[in-house]
Amino acid sequence: MPQYFAIIGHKDNPIYEAEFSIQQGNQKNLGFSQELKEMNPFILHASLDIIEDLQWQVVPSNSQYTNGNNSDNGSNFSISSTGGFLRSKTVNNTDNCYLGKVDHFYGLAITAYISYGGMKFVMIHGTSNSGGSNTSASVVIDDSACRSFYQEIHELYIKTLMNPFYRAGDPISSPVFDSRVRSLARKYLNK
Amino acid sequence: MSQDIIYTSTSDESFKNRSTGYEYTVGPKPSLPDECNRSPLTSKLYSESLNTKRHEVSLSAMTFLFQEMISSLHKECKTVTEFETKLSNYGESIGSRLLELLNFRSSISPGSSSRTSTFLTSSTSVLSSQTSAPGTNANYTNNTNNNNGGGSTGNGTRSRSNTGASSKDYASSIKTSNRDSSDRHHHHHQVESLTSQISKMRRRDLKILDILQFIHGTLWSYLFNHVSDDLVKSSERNNEYMIIDNQPPLTQFISGPNNRISCDYFICGIIKGFLTNAGFRCKVTAHEMPQGQFENRTVYLIQFDNQVLEREAIRFDQP
């Protein structure tokens, strides 16, 4: 299944984008269809509101519905009900960097991660034949692999930030960063 | 950035793969079939570990650099306010970087560090023991032992320009591991990524007090080898907090109280960059408040924006 990954900055500006698709032998490219390729940035930006809401929640997951003894339960109940039901249930709720699944769009799933500096790492997970609109089965997300992927990207991002010639908020154009991200995607996402 | 032409569509073949990296005017580059076979690109920046390395920048070298910054700003600025703003801007870019770096380092589980000494000897011990790389905790205890809180007296501030200092360390680690090429490869592989050592990421700080504690403790230890001398909430105004340093090490050689305070705006900038990027918009100013034996005692006054207080009230102050 193909993915579209992007790092979004403080002003909702893209810092980095990439598309990952699997190549199986001589089969045709199993990536996003051309229309979807152009829709991806819009789909991704539509989920930013949900991410910004989850950013300031004590427990950014829907586990608080079942977990009644949470002290901050009252304040978050109404807020999280906007995005909460969409989220994957297996997210470890002590971790507020990885947000898990935050949104969906016609069978595509959107996962997110927020860095300490407020950079949003967002990814659209497509189904393997996402070109056809008749696919109703939504994507299953492997949360632990996804979390590791985001953490590795986070580390790479910090390394980029350590470059004194890189200004925070600029697009990351380094080919090394690009190739690292792609090899991470192969490692964690397209097994 | 704004002058560049934005090409309308990602479907335009003529612009595909024009550059090897990400080109924001073109859009995302799809994975290519031959990519799996290509040897990975190497770069010092990305193959280094983000882990804590124990190296200090000598105070005299840092002061010399700081002096140059100040004198160049003096030439170009007409008013004191302009000077303070520009110096603060220098600090901000450091603060925003430290926010990511220090939080990430705090995420590394303390169990993964088996050593107390982290300098030079580290690379050999990484090779022998499988557990690799120093954890942050070991380093902090080290720091506090060396310097018991009363301000560093010529011990030097810690590295601010991270890349410069770390490349040195990289060189030394390569040197020691050159002995055996297979060992070296092993070493390289282990040090590169820290994610395997992180069982749980440190939570992002959502409350004012939490993040101020982090500045008071971790950030100050990183910069000056000791925690800040005090962290106070203003009794008069709700949005004001103060971080107090009895003897600011960086500006200790600057004479004249007013000059010195202006130069402390560099530290203000670091605090501001740290807080603003974490989502706590604020203004930071430096004030002199001598007390007892500490003539240079400096108070960094942090005034949070109203939006920060409002958010905190909405999110956390419910019964």
This complex has an ipTM of 0.78
Interface residue A45 vs chain B (CB under 8 A) = no
Residues linked to residue B245 through DSSP beta bridges, in sequence order: B298
Taking the C-alpha atoms of residue B140 and residue B161, their distance in angstroms, rounded to an integer, is 19
Domain co-membership, B231 together with B308: yes
* Predicted local confidence at residue B34, as pLDDT: 53
Q: Are B200 and A95 in contact (CB under 8 A)?
A: yes
* Reduced 3-state DSSP string for B179-205: CCHHHHHHHHHHHHCCHHHCCCCCCCC
- Pairing, β B282-288 against β A108-114: unpaired
Contacts of B202 in chain A (CB under 8 A): 116
Q: Are A9 and A15 in contact (CB under 8 A)?
A: yes
- Choose the closest CB to B195 out of A155, A161, A177: A155
* Predicted local confidence at residue A128, as pLDDT: 61
Locate the chain B residue with the closest alpha carbon to A57. Answer: B315
Tell me the nearest-neighbour CA distance from A35 into chain B, angstroms: 10
Domain co-membership, B93 together with B169: no
Domain co-membership, B193 together with B94: no
Locate the chain A residue with the closest alpha carbon to B21. Answer: A175
Q: Which residue has the higher pLDDT, B74 or B185?
A: B74
CA–chain centroid gap for A21, Å, is: 16
Residue B114 lies in a domain: yes
Locate the chain B residue with the closest alpha carbon to A31. Answer: B30
How far from B180 is each of B59, B121, B131, B312, CA to CA, in Å?
37, 16, 19, 55
User: Would you call B161 and A164 a contact, using CB atoms and an 8 Å cutoff?
Assistant: yes
Tell me the nearest-neighbour CA distance from B71 into chain A, angstroms: 21
Q: Are A117 and B100 in contact (CB under 8 A)?
A: yes
Residue B16 lies in a domain: no
Quick: pLDDT tens for B158-176: 444 443 444 444 444 433 3
* Predicted local confidence at residue B148, as pLDDT: 38
Residue B52 lies in a domain: no
Domain co-membership, B162 together with B291: no
Interface residue A12 vs chain B (CB under 8 A) = no
Contacts of B166 in chain A (CB under 8 A): 162
Domain co-membership, B71 together with B147: no
Taking the C-alpha atoms of residue B206 and residue B202, their distance in angstroms, rounded to an integer, is 12
Surface of A (62-121) touching B: CB under 8 A: 72, 74-76, 92, 94-98, 114-118
Residues of chain A with pLDDT under 50: 62-86, 88-90, 130-136
Domain co-membership, B94 together with B212: yes
End residue of a domain, out of B132, B166, B197: B197
Residue B32 lies in a domain: no
Residue B172 lies in a domain: yes
* Residue B155 DSSP symbol: S
User: Would you call B31 and A182 a contact, using CB atoms and an 8 Å cutoff?
Assistant: yes
Tell me the nearest-neighbour CA distance from B255 into chain A, angstroms: 30
User: Would you call A57 and B315 a contact, using CB atoms and an 8 Å cutoff?
Assistant: yes
- Pairing, β A3-8 against β A120-125: antiparallel
- Choose the closest CB to A161 out of B23, B100, B279: B100
Quick: pLDDT tens for A47-91: 999 999 888 887 765 433 333 333 333 333 333 333 444 454 445
pTM for this model (two decimals): 0.74
Q: A–B: how many Cβ contacts below 8 A?
A: 171
Domain co-membership, B312 together with B249: yes
User: Would you call B30 and A171 a contact, using CB atoms and an 8 Å cutoff?
Assistant: no
Q: How many domains does chain B have?
A: 2
Contacts of B9 in chain A (CB under 8 A): 38
Least confident of A71-80, B62-71, B209-218: A71-80
End residue of a domain, out of B179, B197, B215: B197
- Pairing, β A14-20 against β B230-233: unpaired
Residue B26 lies in a domain: no
pLDDT grade, residue B22 (50/70/90)?
confident
* Residue B234 DSSP symbol: -
Domain co-membership, B88 together with B235: yes
Domain co-membership, B94 together with B211: yes
Locate the chain B residue with the closest alpha carbon to A149. Answer: B195
Give the mean model confidence (pLDDT) for residues B143-152.
38
Domain co-membership, B172 together with B237: no
Residue B246 lies in a domain: yes
Domain limits for position B177: 107-197
* Predicted local confidence at residue B158, as pLDDT: 43
Q: Which residue has the higher pLDDT, A184 or B32?
A: A184
Quick: pLDDT tens for B251-294: 888 887 778 888 999 999 999 999 999 999 999 999 988 888 88
Tell me: pLDDT of B16 over 70.
no
Q: What strands lie across the sheet with A120-125, from one edge to the other? A: A14-20, A3-8, A120-125, A108-114, A98-105
Contacts of A170 in chain B (CB under 8 A): 1
Residue B162 lies in a domain: yes
End residue of a domain, out of B160, B179, B197: B197
Tell me the nearest-neighbour CA distance from A63 into chain B, angstroms: 17
Of B95, B24, B17, nearest in space to B266 by CA: B95
Interface residue A48 vs chain B (CB under 8 A) = no
User: Would you call A117 and B278 a contact, using CB atoms and an 8 Å cutoff?
Assistant: yes
CA dihedral defined by B217, B221, B225, B230, rounded to 10 degrees? -30
Looking at every residue in chain B, the average pLDDT score rounds to 72
User: Would you call A176 and B43 a contact, using CB atoms and an 8 Å cutoff?
Assistant: yes
Domain co-membership, B193 together with B243: no
- Choose the closest CB to B315 out of A75, A171, A178: A75
User: Would you call A56 and B315 a contact, using CB atoms and an 8 Å cutoff?
Assistant: yes
Amino acid occupying residue B311:
R
DSSP states along chain A: --EEEEEE-TTS-EEEEEEE----TTSPP-S--HHHHHHHHHHHHHTHHHHHHHHT-SS-SGGGTT-TT-TTHHHHHHHHTTTGGGS-TT--TT-SSEEEEEEEETTEEEEEEE-TT-PEEEEEEPPTTTTSTT--PPPP--HHHHHHHHHHHHHHHHHHHT-TTPPTTS----HHHHHHHHHHHHHHT--
Taking the C-alpha atoms of residue A6 and residue A185, their distance in angstroms, rounded to an integer, is 13
Interface residue A143 vs chain B (CB under 8 A) = no
Identify the CATH number of the domain in which residue B261 sits.
3.30.1380.20
Report percent pLDDT > 70 for chain B.
Answer: 62
Mutate which of B189, B195, B308, B314 to disrupt the A interface (most A C-beta within 10 Å)? B195
Of A129, A128, A95, nearest in space to A112 by CA: A95
pLDDT grade, residue B189 (50/70/90)?
very low
Domain co-membership, B157 together with B297: no
